[in-house]
């Protein structure tokens, strides 16, 4: 692919950042507050807008409801647009309520299921007010012990519940169904893998597609093969990018296994990714939130740039000739290409700096935000957490 086409494809790549990635987050062990970290939905949107100003490719921010709930969504939409970004995917939170101990849409109790479906339909209405065209749904639903509940009955509830949510979608809005093989459930998860999510989406209809979280698979899973298959079936609705070494660690995408990210983005480069939502889902527990998000965006761009540089023509010849190593080396050539100069030129074309992380750090944003938000010191950050 010639450089101009590579740059054009790179410029067309839009990456949505998650509101929940800008606030203080932690593990069950502790939450370490970061000076200047966003404390409410307006600060989270403002930080997402800063990431867009510095990268030029993050024009939307995903919200999580009720974490980002407000009384007037019209105001919130105007606030975001006033900061130069739009609201992206709406994430219903069906795990943060006492009632959901045994699940939400798959719960044995019909009243709890009804409440969960109502919450999803509220998110559809919120999405309409905010001009969003995506509801991305992850269910923590599952069981912890064999015999705790009937596995077939739970799947039946899942399908029935999602059919009601799907019926509430206006034309043009998509339901992205996200799977995860375990946690917080430790015996069975009702939406555990791509196959279950694909079956459910096929059953629902064309406005339902699968959301692939790169941290939600058992070790050793060939994620790019799942991506290739879902793309080929028109079932790939989007990604929640992050990286992990062990479980759902939600680390900076590409920080543990950049070659895996390259292989995933190559399937995107090869296929028609129109309508695929490229979103990040991360938690920055020990590092600054904004520069970590910018680095994540740059890592995705880097992987995509390298993927676009694979000599697909000669690779196809080697594959046809059964030249196993030769074929593999075409991927290595691209992966080992230094694409930083090309990305720097692309950013200049976009009117942003060559290295947005450096621009953030040299720009004194952290100190300014900490000052403005009164959390300059860790102590004050503690008080405000
Ligand atoms: C579950 C998950 C989910 C988000 C949450 C923050 O692991 O990825 O999709 O809502 O983390
Ligand atoms: Mn996750």
Give per-residue pLDDT as tens, 89-118.
999 999 999 999 999 999 999 999 999 999
Point out the ligand 1 atom lying closest to the alpha carbon of residue 216.
7
Q: Which of 97, 137, 138 to mutate to test the pocket of ligand 1 (most atoms within 8 A of CB)?
A: 138
Instruction: Check pocket membership of 178 for ligand 1, CB cut-off 6 A.
Output: yes
Backbone angles phi, psi at 87, to 5 degrees: -85, 130
Ligand 1 contact via 138 beta carbon (within 6 Å): yes
Please compute the mean of the pLDDT values over residues 320-348 and round it to a whole number: 97
Q: Best mutation site among 28, 213, 284 for ligand 1, i.e. most ligand atoms within 8 A of its Cβ?
A: 213
CB of 189 closer than 6 A to ligand 1? no
Residue 89 burial (10 A CB sphere; 0-12, 13-18, 19+): buried
The 10s digit of each residue's pLDDT in 210-244 is 999 999 999 999 999 999 999 999 999 999 999 99
| Closest ligand, as measured to the CA of 215 | 2
Q: Is residue 91 classed exposed, middle or buried when 0-12, 13-18 and 19+ CB atoms within 10 A define those classes?
A: buried
- pLDDT, residue 374, reads 84
Residue owning the nearest CA to atom 3 of ligand 1: 138
Cβ proximity of 23 and 45 under 8 Å: no
Segment 1-13, tens digit of pLDDT: 899 999 999 999 9
Phi then psi for residue 150, to 5 deg, are: -85, 120
Name the residue with the closest Cα to ligand 1, atom 9: 138
The reported pTM is 0.97
Q: Ligand 1, residue 91: give the atom nearest the CA.
A: 10
Backbone conformation region of residue 269, classed left if phi is above 0, alpha if psi is from -120 to 50, else beta: alpha
Residue with tokens 């699940």: 103
Higher pLDDT, 207 or 382: 207
Q: How many CB atoms lie within 10 A of CB 120?
A: 24
CA of 77 to the centre of ligand 2 (A): 26
Q: Is 91 in the pocket of ligand 1 (CB under 6 A)?
A: yes
């Amino acid at each position: 692919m010639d450089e101009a086409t590579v740059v054009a494809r790179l410029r067309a790549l839009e990456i949505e950042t998650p509101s929940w990635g800008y606030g203080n987050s932690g593990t069950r062990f502790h939450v370490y507050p970061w000076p200047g970290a966003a404390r409410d939905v307006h600060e989270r949107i403002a930080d997402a807008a800063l990431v867009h100003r510095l990268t030029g490719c993050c024009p939307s921010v995903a919200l999580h409801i009720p974490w980002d709930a407000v009384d007037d969504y019209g105001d919130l939409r105007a606030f975001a647009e006033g900061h130069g970004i739009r609201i992206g995917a709406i994430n219903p939170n069906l795990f943060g309520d006492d009632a959901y101990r045994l699940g939400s849409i798959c719960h044995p109790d019909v009243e709890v299921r009804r409440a969960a479906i109502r919450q999803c339909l509220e998110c559809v209405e919120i999405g309409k007010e905010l001009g969003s065209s995506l509801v991305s749904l992850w269910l923590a639903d599952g069981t912890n012990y064999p015999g705790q509940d009937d596995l077939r009955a739970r799947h039946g509830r899942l399908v029935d519940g999602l059919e009601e949510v799907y019926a509430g979608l206006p034309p043009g809005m998509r339901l992205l169904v996200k799977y995860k093989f375990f946690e917080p459930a430790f015996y069975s998860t009702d939406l555990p893998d791509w196959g279950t999510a694909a079956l459910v989406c096929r059953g629902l209809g064309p406005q339902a597609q699968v959301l692939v979280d790169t941290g939600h698979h058992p070790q050793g899973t060939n994620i790019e093969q799942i991506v290739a298959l879902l793309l080929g079936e028109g079932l790939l609705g989007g990604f929640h990018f992050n990286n992990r070494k062990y479980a759902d660690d939600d680390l900076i995408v590409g920080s543990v296994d950049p070659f895996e990210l390259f292989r995933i983005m190559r399937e995107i480069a090869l296929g028609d990714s129109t309508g695929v939502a490229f979103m990040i889902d991360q938690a920055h527990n020990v590092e600054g939130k904004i520069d970590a998000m910018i680095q994540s965006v740059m890592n995705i761009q880097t992987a995509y740039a390298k993927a676009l540089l694979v000599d697909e023509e000669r690779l196809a010849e080697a594959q046809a000739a059964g030249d196993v190593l030769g074929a593999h080396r075409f991927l290595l050539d691209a992966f080992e290409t230094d694409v930083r100069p090309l990305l720097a030129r692309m950013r200049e074309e976009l009117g942003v700096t060559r290295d947005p992380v450096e621009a953030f750090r040299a720009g004194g944003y952290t100190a300014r935000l900490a000052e403005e938000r009164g959390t300059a010191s860790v102590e004050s950050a503690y008080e405000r957490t």
